[in-house]
Amino acid sequence: MRELGRRRIGARDGPGGRKKGLQTILTAEVAAEIEELIGPEASGALDFEALETALRQQALELAARAVERWLNADTSDGAHPTLPCPCGEQARYAGRRPKWLQCVLGTLRFERAYYHCARCQTGFCPRDRELGLEAGSLSPAVRRMVGTVGALVSFQEGSELLDELAGVALDAKQVERTAERLGREIAQAEQQNVTAEPPPAPTMYLGLDGTGVPMRASELAGRQGKQPDGSAKTREVKLVTVWTAELRDDNGAPVRDPGSVSYSAAIESAATHDTDQQLAPFAQRVEREARRRGFDHARRRVVLGDGAPWIWNLVDELFPGAIQIVDLYHAKGRLWDVAKAIYGAGTDLAEQWAKQRRDELDTGEIDALLKALQLHAPSNEEARKCLDYVTRNRQRMRYPELRAQGLCIASGVVEAGCKVAIGTRLKRAGMHWTVAGANAIIALRCSRLSGRFDDFWQRPPTTQNSTATPSR
């Protein structure tokens, strides 16, 4: 805990920096009280910002001492001469031990009873367990703050924000370790807590997508990738998104209901083999999310994805009978790539060709679209791949019919989901992840974006703050 912000008392030089003595803005009585708190020479030339900053600092300091007294006054945690050790032996009371604790009010000196086991030569403090402090020396509220910044910005930026906004001094490495530990706990809670909800709307949408995240070299050894030499630079994060779209725009087209989107994602396998005893980890994730949101009980279940075969294999397995749609954005993007490959990026011919093909998609003239692709397929690899893609997915591209049924065909939710949930946090310049680190931060971020972060904190500390969490 440091002095809040970077402002020093009396140093006001920016715009609006009127210097005023305390006496001119406060009653004499209040001014005297403040002077007592922050010293007469400091209070002489205070501006508003320096005043609020200095007083906040003082208020925190007073509160910190009060909490410290409260924590240390209760010595009942040492009432028993012995307590059972997890090994089965009895651990003996061995006095009170101090611990420096970082909380949102500042640093506290906290003394608690320590029990030592002669057989395992280790010890424990019951109160640490009770207060959720086994994992380290950060209070629950500080850990929560770290979770917030760790989900949103880089660890370095998080460290700076914590200092500037909250006066909590943690370096980037501490932010990283704490945020990742929290993310692992959240990931574990996500797997364990699946409360099935009834569907909030008659039609529910589920989107599936994948996006590459840059990895450390050590995490990629032996993996095949798209680099010219066959190596990989990324691993694929797979994302499931669930939402509703009962709202209608001026043209009567469905619009995603605000606040209805939830996300769950990880770097994990989606392929379940015939010999496997259970579903692949990502398939299990999709099933959990569908159950949690009531997707599996909706009257109309709609799945949107790009054309990737793993997506439709998984959907056939988990949600037989669901309406399958290739996200129109993805489909149009593919056609645009073909146009560039045939005629060159930025040319009029490419523009014209892509427009014709996209109109064919919109109006359902799939035969005409296939014919146009067939023309270029023998001489152009992109056209050949796209021909294959449209042929395989044509049943999922009946856009006029799907639109007539009032369905979202290009919600943008799936596309945006990858950017919002993954890209903006994990794909920034210079970032290289481990699988464990990426999955922890993805879990943290999805939890926040899905409005579940608060639920996680409301669980009792024993389940929320367990140190025995194995990392995957």
Question: Which residue intervals of 12-139 are DSSP H helices?
Answer: 22-25, 28-38, 40-43, 48-73, 126-131
User: Number of helices (H) and strands (E), helices first, in the chain?
Assistant: 20, 11
**Quick one: 84 or 412, whose CB is closer to Zn ion?**
84
In this chain, which stretch among 6-14, 20-28, 86-94, 334-342 interacts with Zn ion, using CB under 5 A?
86-94
The only residue of 2, 97, 119, 223 in contact with Zn ion, by rule CB under 5 A: 119
**Quick one: 85 or 373, whose CB is closer to Zn ion?**
85
Q: Can you tell me the distance from the alpha carbon of 102 to that of 262, in angstroms, rounded to the nearest whole number? A: 33
Q: What is the DSSP letter of 396?
A: G
**Position 85 contacts Zn ion (CB under 5 A):** yes
**Position 115 contacts Zn ion (CB under 5 A):** no
Min dist. Cβ of residue 85 to Zn ion (A): 3
Min dist. Cβ of residue 92 to Zn ion (A): 11
**Quick one: 87 or 94, whose CB is closer to Zn ion?**
87
Helix (H) or strand (E) holding 153: none
The only residue of 87, 165, 271, 345 in contact with Zn ion, by rule CB under 5 A: 87
**Position 94 contacts Zn ion (CB under 5 A):** no
Min dist. Cβ of residue 89 to Zn ion (A): 5
The closest of 195, 199, 169 to 3, measured between CA atoms, is 169
**Position 428 contacts Zn ion (CB under 5 A):** no
The only residue of 41, 89, 276, 381 in contact with Zn ion, by rule CB under 5 A: 89
> SS3 of 88, please?
coil
Residue 381 β-bridge partners: none
Is-contact 236 211, C-beta < 8 A? yes
Output the CA angle 271-276-280, nearest 5 degrees: 35
Min dist. Cβ of residue 256 to Zn ion (A): 55
The closest of 104, 112, 107 to 140, measured between CA atoms, is 104
In this chain, which stretch among 118-126, 298-306, 421-429, 455-463 interacts with Zn ion, using CB under 5 A?
118-126
In this chain, which stretch among 120-128, 181-189, 216-224, 313-321 interacts with Zn ion, using CB under 5 A?
120-128
**Quick one: 115 or 453, whose CB is closer to Zn ion?**
115
Instruction: Write out the two tokens for 400.
Output: 């006029």
**Position 455 contacts Zn ion (CB under 5 A):** no
Q: Where are the beta strands (DSSP E) in 118-151?
A: 122-124
User: Which residue has 């569908």 as its token pair?
Assistant: 290
The only residue of 66, 120, 194, 375 in contact with Zn ion, by rule CB under 5 A: 120
Q: What is the DSSP letter of 215?
A: B
Q: What is the DSSP letter of 257?
A: P
Pairing relation of β-strands 106-117 and 90-103?
antiparallel
**Position 217 contacts Zn ion (CB under 5 A):** no
Helix (H) or strand (E) holding 263: strand 262-266
**Position 114 contacts Zn ion (CB under 5 A):** no
In this chain, which stretch among 20-28, 119-127, 220-228, 436-444 interacts with Zn ion, using CB under 5 A?
119-127
Min dist. Cβ of residue 99 to Zn ion (A): 21
**Position 118 contacts Zn ion (CB under 5 A):** no
Binding site for Zn ion (CB under 5 A): 85, 87, 89, 117, 119-120
